[in-house]
Every structure is written in C-alpha cells, then in structure tokens.
Structure 1
Amino acid sequence: MTTFGIRKALRATYDEAITRVPEALKAEGFGVLTEIDIQSTLKQKLGVDFRRYKILGACNPPLAHEALQAELEIALMLPCNVVVYEGDDGKAVVLAIDPTKTLATTGNPKLAELAEAVKQRLTRAIEMLE
C-alpha cells in the first residue's frame, strides 16, 4: 500500500474516529474548515456505493498566516487534508498529508521550516488517537 502521508490504523470505529479526530487536531491548534463526505458524494453524483470516507480540511491559523506571508500563492496547498475512512475490518484509518512533501518542495526555506512544524503537529494529533 502506498502511503501519501502520516497514517494510523485505529482500534476505534469510524463513528468514534470521526468525532475524535477534530478533537485531536484542536489539541494541536488546528480547526476543521471543510468536510467532504466522499461516500455521499459518490452516491449522489455517480450512484455508486463506497465505504465511509471523509476528507477534513484542517487549518492552523497562525501557521497558515506565516505560510501566506512567506508565499502568497501557497494557499493552493492549504488547508491540510486529513482523511478518515472505514477499513475493511470496520475500524477507522486516519491519514494526514505530509507537508514536507508539499509545502517544503517549493524551494522557499521559510516554507520548509513551517512544513516541518506542521508535520510534527499533525503527527502528534494522529498519534494520540487509538
């Protein structure tokens, strides 16, 4: 399986995780700005069934502000996507984008520094989940 970011399979169910993830993010200074329900969208738009799967757009306002000051057009890479989906075993899987693979690739040293700080916070948020 290819990993595109920070990943953790939980013992929690999807329903438990979908309420705990925003709390864990909040503990690290993030708020959830957007929520995309992939299951519902695919059902409505294509008439197909898909597992429970949500994309949360997480933002840490002070770090986002710093990033925008360093590079005005960096908003293309904001907010940080955090995914919660129901695994085949009925347990939740949580993923977060690794900003050192996105923000840090711009060549701007300030963004590389911020990317590392964001990665550390997202990693801590995910690690506190069970």
Structure 2
Amino acid sequence: MSTSYQVSVVESGPQTVLQLRRTIRADHAGDDIGSGMSALYAFAAATGLTASGPPSTTYHGDFLPGITIEVDFALPVGASDLSGTGEEPAIRATEPGWYARTVHRGGYQTITHAYRALEAWLGAAKYRPIGPPTEVYLVAPEQAVTAHDLVTEIRIPVTPTDLSVTVAASVADTVPLVREALTEHGFRVLNELDVCATAAVRNRWQIEDYVILGACDPELIAAALSIDRRIGLMMGCTLLVRAEGDYSVVEAAEPCTAVEQSRRAAWEPIARQIRRSLAAVLARVHASLPTG
C-alpha cells in the first residue's frame, strides 16, 4: 500500500443521489456502516433505482470512543428515477462545489493517514474546509479480493481563503459592511435575500441567519459584452453572509468557474479582475470587523 498521497482541488458537478441518514456508534462503526450501506442498496433494489456511480458516506462528526455520529449514505442514481421514492431514504440533488481530494489504497484501518495528509495540505494551501468529509468507495469491500484492493476517495469541501472571511460580528452587522465594500470596489448590489426570514414566513424549516447578495461590476460587464453578448449571463457575483456560532462567515463564489464552463479564454482576464475585486471586498470587510 502506498503511503504517498497526492492532493488536488476539483469541482464537483450536480448529482442526483439516493440518501439515507443513520446514527453510527463509534465503537461499532464497521458493523453500523455495513448495515447502513446494505439498507441503502436494498431500498434502491426494492424501488428499481439504478446506481450511476460509486456509493459514499459523509461523516457529521469524529469517531470517538463511546459516542455516536450522524452519517449520510449516498448512492448516485439516474435522473429519470426521481419519481421513485418517498421521504426516507430521500432523493436529493447535490449542489456543485469545490473540494480537496486524495485517494487511499488499502484497508480502512490506515485511512487516517489520508485524512492527515489532507489536513496538512489544507494547513499550507490557500483553501479552508467548509463542510464534513465524504468517503467515496471507488473499489468497495464487495468488489475487492483483499484489503489491498480497496480504493477510497476522500473529499473535503473547500473554499479559497481569499474569497472567505470569518468575523466576530452578527450577520445583521456584517451585511451593511459587505454592501459598502462592494460599492467601494465598483460593484452594484442587484438583490438581497434573507433566507432565514423567508423560511420563517413560509413556516417550513429553520436556518441560522443567512443572507445571499447578488452583485455585478457595470464596467466589467461592458468589457465582457464586447467579447460575447452571451457572457452577460455569467457576470453576476454571488456572496453569502451566514452565521456560524457567534461569528459570521462571508464567502464569494469563484468567478473563474464561469470561464471554465463557457470555455471562452478571452474572458479569463475579466474573470480574474472580478476575482481580485471580490477578494479586496472581503479583505475590506475583514479589516473593518473584529476577528475574535
């Protein structure tokens, strides 16, 4: 088994997955994970769902002796299968996003080495984790002859550190400063959505303070439209201001992703300018508020 781990940051596309959440006992993790995976596949078979990729588990906590954690079991399925299930397990559409990944080859008793490699890489890279880790079983136990044949991809969702800041202030106090910083750097705020308030009005679900801002830079839009009129569809910038405990996290979507999606290299300098401006906006917010 190789102990050398190569880490890369890649973008995930949207997927349709069959998802089942189970409570796992740390002291019986192997048995409980095996039981959860069996239940996931049994439900897929009973409802005629067709797997379109390898299964995965997402861990909402650390395995410590004597405790339990929540684990999401997921199996990619065909989009045509969307009408085939009830509420539990659930069919869900995953969101695209960026994640740091590495691959572990061999038994699970040494998989912690891969996690440590990812953590060390993140400690030195310009990215920070923004969600729980996921294990994707590229070669699962039922496919392997021996433990050495197992292949597991580990993913940790990340965001660039220059497009994400954490400040010791409420969302209500942070949002006006984000608007002000956007204006100072040539952006125009197009819309604002208070997700928490919207959820409360509809009385469907609860969420922490969470505000989505839409913005654009009129001058850069003009430059982009001189290249291609359709680029206007990609010029909007999305920023989030969300509560995380006693802090607020401000994040901006990566604008260079639109260049990759459009495959129009001529727009790359403009996208990079937008990125620099967004990074300056977040730096301004960071400098204006305490960081704890």
TM-score, normalisation: structure 2: 0.41
CA distance in 1 between counterparts of 2:174 and 2:285 reads: 8
Residue 50 in 1 paired to residue 211 in 2?
no
2:212 counterpart SS class: strand
Percent identity (aligned): 26
Residue 3 in 1 paired to residue 145 in 2?
no
1:49 counterpart SS class: coil
Whether the 8 Å contact between 2:168 and 2:246 is mirrored in structure 1 is no
**Given residue 14 of structure 1, which amino acid in structure 2 is its aligned partner?**
V
Structure 1, 116-125 or 25-34: larger mean CA deviation? 25-34
Residue 12 in 1 paired to residue 158 in 2?
no
Whether the 8 Å contact between 1:86 and 1:93 is mirrored in structure 2 is yes
Structure with the greater alpha carbon radius of gyration: 2
Among 231, 240, 244, the alignment partner of 1:83 is: 240
Structure showing greater relative contact order (alpha-carbon pairs closer than 8 Å, 6 or more residues apart)? 1
CA distance in 2 between counterparts of 1:11 and 1:119 reads: 24
How many residues are aligned here?
Answer: 129
Offset, 1:97? 1.1
**Given residue 101 of structure 1, which amino acid in structure 2 is its aligned partner?**
T
Equivalent residue, structure 2, for 1:34 = 191
Structure 2: gaps of 5 or more residues: 1-129, 131-156, 287-292
Alignment of 1:113-124 (within 5 A): 113-124=269-280
CA distance in 1 between counterparts of 2:159 and 2:258 reads: 11
Whether the 8 Å contact between 1:14 and 1:90 is mirrored in structure 2 is no
The CA RMSD measured in Å over matched residues stands at 1.7
CA distance in 1 between counterparts of 2:198 and 2:230 reads: 28
Q: For residues 19-58 of structure 1, give each alpha carbon's deviation from its aligned partner in whole angstroms, at most 9, with x where no partner exists.
A: 1001111111011111111112223335211111111111
Residue 23 in 1 paired to residue 180 in 2?
yes
Large movers: runs of 4+ above 4 Å: none
Whether the 8 Å contact between 1:57 and 1:80 is mirrored in structure 2 is yes
Residue 126 in 1 paired to residue 282 in 2?
yes
TM-score, normalisation: structure 1: 0.88
CA distance in 2 between counterparts of 1:85 and 1:33 reads: 19
Residue 59 in 1 paired to residue 216 in 2?
yes
Instruction: Classify 1:71/1:41 alpha carbon distance in 2 versus 1 (closer, same or farther; 3 Å).
Output: farther
Offset, 1:11? 2.1
1:129 counterpart SS class: helix
Structure 1: gaps of 5 or more residues: none
Structure 1, 111-120 or 63-72: larger mean CA deviation? 63-72
**Given residue 63 of structure 1, which amino acid in structure 2 is its aligned partner?**
L
